[in-house]
């Protein structure tokens, strides 16, 4: 049996693009095996009609058993344990080789504990990923995030469509009503070593709008974004990969701190800007992320 994944294994893994698809759509599953996304989420929840739930569950488990997803992390999104399909979904996923189970509408630490317990028989590397998409979690973000210290919880995905519905807020391109929630979620996740992805952009024919939304997600600190259509993958990967200017900055920070006259200093000048040891850490991380992205091209 492989050992459980360490936080260090997971922290630098490229998670730029996570493509959802209904597990009830065999054509989409076949296509996902060829697409340049970092992650694939086989959905049993919102994208699958009630009458198709059982067939979708069987198709998702069969797709994982068949394999062929290469470097992509593959998750199955389960129906909640409070629905008639949840327990059977969790049991089926726990018995599979999926990299993760994504669970919906988490509100409180107890929800994470219940899902973690439902995975007690799963392979040791199976991760628990949670949708952050309810009004109920707002006051509980730090407590839910802290569950990562004692459970399989390792990644959060924003669910802005559900959040908009619950808040009765309008989903406009600037996403003003959701910005405090996005920032609080990123901070709570980071405080506990959890990776975090932004939500979907429903306007899948408008790639200009998509790119602007992806850039907003990058600005907020997300590792990547959830996607609903293959056309969104390339622009998403571009936005969430370090660019040439970022790499040049990282190189110059590393070189500057390496100069004999800067030894033992905490703050120096690089390209006319104050640069501290914390920036050196950021620069090293950026180069390592770029190296890992290069490794999957
Ligand atoms: N994953 C993999 N392949 C997909 C895909 C996806 N999410 N969405 C579309 N495709 C494929 C189609 O099967 C089609 O393949 P083909 O060229 O071999 O026939 C191709 O990409 C073009 O599809 P297109 O005609 O542009 O889209 P559509 O109108 O068929 O589907 C959606 C539009 C939104 C219904 C579809 O993209 C979808 O189901 N997205 C995921 C929805 C989801 O999972 N939601 C839950 C999370 S919010
Ligand atoms: Mg949802």
Structure confidence at residue 103 (pLDDT): 98
pLDDT tens track of the chain, all 297 residues? 567 777 777 788 999 999 999 999 999 999 999 999 999 999 999 999 999 999 999 999 999 999 999 999 999 999 999 999 999 999 999 999 999 999 999 999 999 999 999 999 999 999 999 999 999 999 999 999 999 999 999 999 999 999 999 999 999 999 999 999 999 999 999 999 999 999 999 999 999 999 999 999 999 999 999 999 999 999 999 999 999 999 999 999 999 999 999 999 999 999 999 999 999 999 999 999 999 999 987
In this prediction the pTM is 0.96
Radius of gyration of the chain (CA): 20
The DSSP code for 78 is: P
Residue 159 CB coordination number (10 Å) = 23
Could you tell me the CA-to-CA distances from 117 to 122, 143, 153, 280 in Å, in that order?
10, 18, 12, 40
228 Cβ below 6 A of ligand 1: yes
A 10 A CB-CB count for 177 gives 16
pLDDT of residue 269: 96
Q: How far is CA 25 from the centre of its chain?
A: 22
Instruction: Output the residue whose Cα is nearest ligand 1's atom 26.
Output: 229
| 33 close to ligand 1 (CB < 6 Angstrom) | no
Q: At which residue do the structure tokens 């990299």 appear?
A: 99
Could you give the domains of the chain? Answer: 7-239 (3.20.20.60), 244-296 (no CATH)
Tokens representing residue 266 in the block: 């905490």
Which ligand 1 atom sits closest to the C-alpha of 46? 46
Testing ligand 1's pocket by substitution, the residue of 48, 228, 232, 234 carrying the most ligand atoms inside 8 A of its CB is: 228
Q: Which atom of ligand 1 is nearest to the CA of 32?
A: 2
Angle subtended by helix axes 109-118 and 86-94, to nearest 10: 50
Phi, psi of 100 (to 5 degrees): -160, 160
**For position 1, what pLDDT does the model report?**
56
Q: Is the CB of 32 under 6 A from ligand 1?
A: yes
**How far is the C-alpha of 291 from the C-alpha of 284, rounded, in Å?**
11
156 lines ligand 1 (CB under 6 A): no
Beta strands 224-227; 195-198: pairing state: parallel
Distance CA 179, CA 181 (A): 5
């Amino acid at each position: 049996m492989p050992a459980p994944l360490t936080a260090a294994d997971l922290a630098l893994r490229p998670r730029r693009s996570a493509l959802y698809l209904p597990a009830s759509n065999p054509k989409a599953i076949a296509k996902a095996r060829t697409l340049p996304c970092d992650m694939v989420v086989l959905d049993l929840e919102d994208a699958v009609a009630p009458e198709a739930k059982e067939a979708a569950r069987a198709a998702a488990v069969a797709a994982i058993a068949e394999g062929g997803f290469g470097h992509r992390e593959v998750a199955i999104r389960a129906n909640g344990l409070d629905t008639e399909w949840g327990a059977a979904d969790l049991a089926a996923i726990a018995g599979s080789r999926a990299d993760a189970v994504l669970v919906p509408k988490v509100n409180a630490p107890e929800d994470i504990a219940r899902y973690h317990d439902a995975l007690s028989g799963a392979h040791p590397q199976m991760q628990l990923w949670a949708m952050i998409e309810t009004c109920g979690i707002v006051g509980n973000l730090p407590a839910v995030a802290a569950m990562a210290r004692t459970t399989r919880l390792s990644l959060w995905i924003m669910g802005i469509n559900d959040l908009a519905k619950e808040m009765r807020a309008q989903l406009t391109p600037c996403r003003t009503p959701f910005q405090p929630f996005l920032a609080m979620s990123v901070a709570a996740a980071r405080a506990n070593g959890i990776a975090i992805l932004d939500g979907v952009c429903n306007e899948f024919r408008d790639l200009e709008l998509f790119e602007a939304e992806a850039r907003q997600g990058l600005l907020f600190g997300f590792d990547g974004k959830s996607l609903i259509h293959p056309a969104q993958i390339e622009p998403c990967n571009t936005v969430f990969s370090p660019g040439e200017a970022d790499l040049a900055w990282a190189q110059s920070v590393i070189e500057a701190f390496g100069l004999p006259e800067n030894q033992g200093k905490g703050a120096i000048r690089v390209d006319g800007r104050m640069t501290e040891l914390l920036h050196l850490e950021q620069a090293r991380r950026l180069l390592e992320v770029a190296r890992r992205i290069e490794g999957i091209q």
